[in-house]
Structure 1
Amino acid sequence: MVSKIDYVTVMDIPFSNLTQKELLKEHIYPRINKENKTYIVTANPEIVMQTRIDDVYKNSVKQADFIIPDGTGIVIASKIQGNPIKERVTGFDLMFKLLAYAEKNQLSCYFLGAKQEVNDRAVAKVKAQYPGIKVAGQHHGYFTNDAEVAQKVAVAKPDLIFVAMGFPRQENFIAASLPLFNKGVFMGVGGVFDILAGEMKRAPRPWIKLNLEWLYRLIKQPFRWKRILKAFEFMFRILIRR
């Protein structure tokens, strides 16, 4: 039985209020099996803040079938607003659930984004971890002709398309390319390819459980401080609205 989707709006962005289990078992898996085209946005406070200043990007995000709360700040904001989101659903964990499902069900995946050598290592890691998976294709993220690359992906007819080009580019690319496809689950996954390739480490589990993943990233990548400031601005605006 498919559960009804409730939405929690945070700064005009409607988040699907579903647990990871509900999202996958009651919505995404059935849509894959029916070959329904599906677009997932994994949104954190920085993405929400970007939609405030970029109308094109906001439109790209709001075209998604599911906008999931990939960021502790989103969950906290929902609680402050008095309409709490059930749980944080990270794009990192969701991608691996989808890869496992793809291997089990002989689905094909396309990996788009990052530098070529990073993309190669990431795909090799996926193949090692999921030896039965089908790779429909792969392509680096450093291109200028979006239409040409989108057509190349469409010809491969993948079931799952993971786009690792960072926001706002990955969501803009997906939204603009959707009309070319008859099926497929599309998801922007940010820096996941870098983690798979060993270019960057994900925060240790205790940091994640304590909702301090952002602090771990800041310590490892001090140049991210401007992005962290956006997250603080997000919380400040939520509190002011409250």
Structure 2
Amino acid sequence: MIQTKQLFGLPFVDATPSQWYTHIKTILHDRGKAFLVTANPELVLRALREPSYEAILRRATFITPDGIGVTAASKRMGSPLTATLPGIETARELLRTADALKKRVFLLGGRPEVMKSLIRQLSIRFPNIRFVGTFHGFGKTEEATRAIVEADADLVLVALGAPKQEEWIASVYDQVDHGIFIGVGGAFDVWSGHSKRAPKLFRRLKLEWLYRISTHPRGFEKLKDLLLFLTLVLRKKSTLS
């Protein structure tokens, strides 16, 4: 049983990486169903600003602390989380398990040129996965849902970026009877070779967020959000009011 702790009004997974990966692998093995959200400070702020988005996050099966910002905040707020659980690592563990179990995987989001090279790269890395469908993901929710159901997908990776990917998963989740759904942000670009993940030094120092901000077109806006999040944490406040 995975434990959770409340932070900013949301139930965050409180587990070691080993405990977490074992749990989600079991769900995949058993053809279970789960809606996973990997929440960084930007997602937390959006939830605090937008009640409708907060409601979507509350529908998730699990919310994990994606980045040192959330785990550091948990310590400051007096409810320390056990570990940071990066979303890209969670997705990678799910792909490894899907490969070992010869599961069916559906990919949603990403530009056509990205999807083409993504399938090629993932097929090399995970030769036993059955990639049963792709969809660009923008609009046409009913068509995408039908494609996923017909494909009988065990794992659905959604790369629309926040908040679109969480909104999209929430809109289709009740229409399927099994499968793990997880938003993976820009992971498709990284895995396909169209963009680079933060260098190992940044990852080792838990500063991947800094690399992403410095290289993102909206980096300044993201930095402002990060400073606002830091202000809330320093004041030990869980709301924007």
TM class, shorter-length: over 0.9
| C-alpha distance in structure 1 between counterparts of 2:215 and 2:234, whole Å | 29
Identity within the alignment, %: 32
1:75 and 2:78 equivalent? no
Counterpart of 2:17 in structure 1 is: 20
**Where do residues 200-215 of structure 1 align in structure 2 (5 Å cutoff)?**
200-215=195-210
Structure 1, 214-223 or 39-48: larger mean CA deviation: 214-223
Counterpart of 2:143 in structure 1 is: 148
Counterpart of 1:45 in structure 2 is: 41
1:241 and 2:236 equivalent? yes
Paired AA for residue 21 in structure 2: L
RMSD of the TM alignment (CA)? 1.4
Contact 1:18–1:86 (8 Å) recurs in 2: yes
Q: What's the CA shift for 1:140?
A: 1.5
Q: TM-score, normalised by structure 1?
A: 0.93
Change (3 A) 1:222 1:168: closer
Q: Deviations over 1:183-210 (max 9, x none)?
A: 1000000000011122211111111121
Change (3 A) 1:152 1:75: same
1:102 and 2:98 equivalent? yes
Counterpart of 1:128 in structure 2 is: 124
Counterpart of 1:86 in structure 2 is: 82
Q: What's the CA shift for 1:222?
A: 4.8
Counterpart of 2:173 in structure 1 is: 178
SS of equivalent residue, structure 1 residue 137: strand
Q: Deviations over 1:88-122 (max 9, x none)?
A: 11111111111111111110100101111112211
| C-alpha distance in structure 2 between counterparts of 1:138 and 1:231, whole Å | 33
Contact 2:15–2:83 (8 Å) recurs in 1: yes
Contact 2:76–2:236 (8 Å) recurs in 1: no
Contact 1:113–1:163 (8 Å) recurs in 2: yes
Contact 1:151–1:180 (8 Å) recurs in 2: no
Paired AA for residue 80 in structure 2: P
Structure 1: unaligned runs, 5 residues or longer? none
SS of equivalent residue, structure 1 residue 206: helix
Contact 1:163–1:170 (8 Å) recurs in 2: yes
Q: What's the CA shift for 1:7?
A: 1.8
2:162 equivalent among 148, 164, 167: 167
Q: TM-score, normalised by structure 2?
A: 0.94
Q: Deviations over 1:49-101 (max 9, x none)?
A: 01112222111111111100111110000110122111111111111111111
Contact 1:116–1:139 (8 Å) recurs in 2: no
Paired AA for residue 101 in structure 1: T
Contact 1:214–1:228 (8 Å) recurs in 2: no
Contact 2:110–2:136 (8 Å) recurs in 1: yes
Paired AA for residue 114 in structure 2: V
| C-alpha distance in structure 2 between counterparts of 1:60 and 1:151, whole Å | 21
| C-alpha distance in structure 2 between counterparts of 1:53 and 1:182, whole Å | 32
| C-alpha distance in structure 1 between counterparts of 2:40 and 2:207, whole Å | 14
Paired AA for residue 17 in structure 1: D
Q: What's the CA shift for 1:166?
A: 0.4
SS of equivalent residue, structure 1 residue 144: coil
Residues matched between the structures, number:
237
